[in-house]
Amino acid sequence: MSVELRISEIFYSLQGESNAVGLPTVFVRLTGCPLRCNYCDTSYAFSGGVKMSLVDILADVKQYNCHYVCVTGGEPLAQPACLLLLTQLAAAGFNVSLETSGALDVSNVDSRIVKVMDLKTPSSSECEKNRYENIEFLTAQDQVKFVIADDEDYNWSKKIMEDYNLLARCQVLFSPVVPQQNLAELADKILADRLPVRFQIQLHKFLWQDVQGK
């Protein structure tokens, strides 16, 4: 019996976030998520989708002739077979990233995969779901993202960054919740505090005004 995953969509676009921002990328969006963040922009992926075999998913990805693949959600790790998908994509020669909430175990993710882990800030309403044990499994190629809506989120993110010495382990991204967090104000805070983090916006939304997160 072939392994199947429930897929919301597979599409080709520019990467809008992370340190690969701007690169043409194939996105594989898995259906389902155990979290309900206040600022979620992909709630359409909570349910529905279609079942696809790993063979069909890889064939769909390959048709775009693109080196970069991003496996996202929802929360992709909510489907256990996601681990096998990641490994097969890497084995096929793709440069693969995984966008994960950080609420589920990442210890078994293939070491070739770039993990982009979103530690949930207080404004998300899901802060208590953070699995801090995951930090042990991050390396220099990986990234931790903090989605910031207000001063409380900003100060919390700085504290977590310091408490877990994240900058010595991986890359750190600060991303504003628009329109709650003014872009320039967050940039000014980062500069004033001399934080060696990457300030990022969701490029795709500025290019295409896409409220669904593509």
Q: Inform me whether the pLDDT recorded for 1 exceeds 70.
A: no
Residue 18 has pLDDT above 50, yes or no: yes
Q: What is the rounded distance in angstroms from the CA atom of residue 207 to the CA atom of residue 209?
A: 6
The per-residue pLDDT for 132 is 97
The pLDDT of residue 165 is 97
Task: Return the pLDDT at 208.
Answer: 82
Tell me the pLDDT tens digit for each residue of 50-78: 999 999 999 999 999 999 999 999 999 99
Going by pLDDT thresholds of 50, 70 and 90, the confidence category of residue 212 is very low
Buried b (16+ CB within 10 A) or exposed e, 117-140: bbbbbbbbebeebbbeebbebbee
Q: Convert the pLDDT of each residue in 158-206 to its tens digit.
A: 999 999 999 999 999 999 998 899 999 999 999 999 999 999 998 878 8
Question: Exposed/middle/buried for 18, CB within 10 Å: 0-12, 13-18, 19+?
Answer: buried
Q: What is the pLDDT of residues 83-131, one digit of tens each?
A: 999 999 999 999 999 999 989 999 999 999 999 999 999 999 999 999 9
For Cα atoms 182, 152, 181, give the angle at the middle one, nearest 5 degrees: 10
Residue/partner pairs of 179-186 with CB below 8 Å, 24 or more apart: 180/39, 180/123, 180/149, 180/150, 181/148, 181/149, 181/150, 181/153, 186/148, 186/154
Q: Residue 86 half-sphere exposure, CB side, CA atoms within 13 Å?
A: 25
- Residue 146 near residue 172 (C-beta atoms within 8 A): yes
Cα separation, 44 vs 50, whole angstroms: 13
Checking DSSP bridges between strand 4-14 and strand 50-53, what pairing results, if any?
antiparallel
- Prediction pTM value: 0.94
| Alpha-carbon span 105 to 103, nearest angstrom | 7
Task: Tell me: pLDDT of 213 over 70.
Answer: no
What is the distance between the alpha carbons of residues 194 and 180, in angstroms, rounded to a whole number?
23
Tokens of 105: 């175990």
pLDDT number for residue 204 = 79
pLDDT of residue 200: 94
Q: 211 pLDDT exceeds 50?
A: no
Please give the domain boundaries of the chain with CATH numbers for all domains: 4-208 (3.20.20.70)
